[in-house]
Amino acid sequence: MDEPLSNLDAKLRNQMRAEIIKLRSRIDTTFMYVTHDQTEAMTLGDRIVIMKDGFVNQIGTPQELFSKPVNLFVAGFIGMPVMNFFDGCKLLLEGGKYYAEIRGVKFELDAFQQKALKSRDQQPCEIVCGVRPQHITVGQGELSAVVEVSELLGTEFNLHARSGSDEVVMVIPTMDLETDVSMGANIHFTVQPKLIQLFDKETGNNLIWYDPASAEANAPECAKYDF
């Protein structure tokens, strides 16, 4: 199937996604589905192949691609709203422990991240930190921002805020919110260190999840040649 739902309106597209899932279950066969819509890929796919310029970037289940993106492109493609990327960050190594520094605030990474970085003998470097909008907590923390757009969607707020030079999108459940998030409000926010994705500034590869051996194995034969 090649972009079968692209010309449908939102309501009909949702209905047809459900029909395709039921059809696949009923005839019990393999579907290959091509789409630029990551929502379709996440809801319809058992395994997803993400390609860019003809190269395979990552193959995995929807949850693997969401939680363990191997590079910046995959991280920015999967997830709605898209992942926030904080530029100008640093990976620090102090007292045998790794820290991610975002806008001058240090976050001590969790045990799994520490082990993964030590196994790679990762040296301190400049990084890009990725944080999902759903993984941000508003009303506490040392990071600050100014709300530029506040969208109430019933059970949640979608906030578009400015933190220094970074635009930050936050998805905040309304029932958990005790902070003024109207347009122009100054807010404080934080993230759980274990939910921070760490990307090498130069290569864009994820310092935790990128595996050069797997990347080579997943590359199609044509991708190994320079045309």
pLDDT tens digit string along 193-203?
999 999 999 99
Question: Which of 107-116's residues contact partners 24+ apart within 8 Å by CB, and which partners?
Answer: 107/191, 107/193, 107/196, 108/193, 109/193, 109/194, 109/196, 110/193, 110/194, 112/194, 113/193, 113/194, 113/198, 113/208, 116/207, 116/208
Which of 31, 29, 23, 26 has its CA nearest to residue 2? 31
Q: What is the pLDDT of residue 217?
A: 53
Q: What is the pLDDT of residue 184?
A: 92
| pLDDT, tens digit (0-9, with 9 covering 90-100), for 94-125 | 999 999 999 999 999 999 999 999 999 999 99
100 near 107, Cβ under 8 Å? yes
* DSSP per-residue string spanning 54-94: TEEEEEE-HHHHHH--SBHHHHHHSSSSPPEEEEEEEEEEE
Q: 203-222: buried (b, 16+ CB within 10 Å) or exposed (e) per residue? A: ebbbbbbbeeeebeebeeee
| Residue whose structure tokens are 């990128």 | 210
pTM of the prediction?
0.85
Average pLDDT over residues 170-183: 85
Which of 94, 115, 124 has its CA nearest to residue 200? 124
The Cα–Cα gap between 129 and 127 comes to 6
Q: What is the pLDDT of residue 173?
A: 87
Provide the mean pLDDT of the chain.
Answer: 89
Lowest mean pLDDT among 5-9, 18-22, 172-176, 200-204: 172-176
Domains by residue range for the chain, with CATH: 10-77 (no CATH), 84-211 (2.40.50.140)
| pLDDT, tens digit (0-9, with 9 covering 90-100), for 49-79 | 998 888 899 999 999 999 999 999 999 988 8
- Cα dihedral sign for 215, 202, 50, 67? positive
Q: Which helix (H) or strand (E) holds 116?
A: helix 111-119
What region, left, alpha or beta, does residue 141 occupy, with left being phi > 0 and alpha being psi -120 to 50 degrees? left
Q: What is the pLDDT of residue 20?
A: 92
pLDDT for residue 212 is more than 60: yes
209 near 69, Cβ under 8 Å? yes
